[in-house]
Amino acid sequence: MMLALCSGSRGARAEDSKKAQCASSYEKSQELRAAGSLKAAHEMLVQCAQDYCPAFVQSDCAQWLTEVTRDLPTIVVVAKDKAGEDTTAVTVTMDGAEFLSQLDGKAVAVDPGPHTFHFELAGAEPVEQQIVIRQGQKDRVVSVSFAPAPAAEAPGPSPYATAPKGEGAPEADKKASNPLRLYSYIAGGVGAAGLIGFAVVGGIGKGQESDLRDQHCAPNCSRSETDSIKTKYLVADVLLGVGIAGIGTGVTLFFLSQPKKEPPQTGKLRFDVGAAPGAAMATLAGKF
């Protein structure tokens, strides 16, 4: 009789302990879920969804477990060694805590948010990555390579770089750097515009003069008509002078802008006087 009572008492205490565990997991799961700790919340929900928990607790936890499982991200870590080959001998820490002792190609659950991953492989420099994991992201591949980065090649000289003066600068650059060349183009343009203006205005004046002759008013044409023609001829003469001066100035500046050829350098002469037994010698040496 006493044995049965003791056995029943232990069974009741065990049942009460399970119910207390269900209630605790029920409450903690919601706190962890609200804090974004979905991995820990998942563990709590697995406990409170057991058959021995009260019916309402089991029902709620089962529903929440489905939701958390859907939102809980997973990642797959892959790595390559120094030779660029796949390797599993990599230890991984996440946010300073141990995460994986080696790689096996399987998906691992992590909480959503930013994380710092530290990867180590024997005989290689450790690698660290900052990664943001999104909620609900499944089987995201996190890859790391321990192969040394290729050496960066030194950039070659730019084809657009201008060589310093006196150090093999291209002839075209020397010409472009001479301001007289630009002024010669400007003067030539002004001269060309003057000649064109002379032709146009002079042509108009010539046409008006021809019209008056056709009207047989000469030499008794009105002063306003003759003054108009004289004005056009005067303007044409001025434009002709501008054109000739501009073209002449442009040509002069163009020739002045040509790079000067350096005269060939002659070698220095050396005059030596020496003596010999019973004679004297003088030598002249140098490059010509």
Q: What is the 3-state secondary structure (H, E, C) of 195-221?
A: HHHHHHHHHHHHHHHHHHHHCCCCCCC
CB proximity list for 148: less than 8 A, separation 6 or greater = 82
> Which H/E stretch holds residue 87?
strand 86-87
Angstrom distance (rounded) from CA 279 to CA 283 = 14
Cut 0.85: pTM above it? no
Q: Which two tokens stand for residue 93?
A: 């820490």
The answer to whether residues 237 and 195 touch, using CB atoms and an 8 Å cutoff, is no
pLDDT of residue 242: 80
Q: Which two tokens stand for residue 221?
A: 């044409």
Angstrom distance (rounded) from CA 110 to CA 72 = 7
pLDDT of residue 193: 83
CB proximity list for 98: less than 8 A, separation 6 or greater = 91
Show pLDDT as tens, one digit a residue, over the chain (288 residues). 444 444 555 656 777 788 889 999 999 999 999 999 999 999 999 999 999 899 999 999 999 999 999 999 999 999 999 999 999 999 999 999 999 999 999 999 999 999 999 999 999 999 999 999 999 999 999 999 999 887 766 666 666 555 555 454 455 555 555 677 777 778 778 878 878 878 887 788 777 777 767 765 656 666 676 777 788 778 878 878 887 887 888 778 777 777 766 655 555 556 555 555 555 455 555 555
| Amino acid letter for position 39 | K
Report residue 138: phi and psi, to 5°.
Answer: -110, 140
Angstrom distance (rounded) from CA 144 to CA 142 = 7
For residue 18, the SS3 value is: helix
pLDDT of residue 243: 75
Angstrom distance (rounded) from CA 130 to CA 120 = 15
Q: Which of 75, 74, 71, 40 is nearest to 136 (CA)?
A: 71
Angstrom distance (rounded) from CA 221 to CA 212 = 7
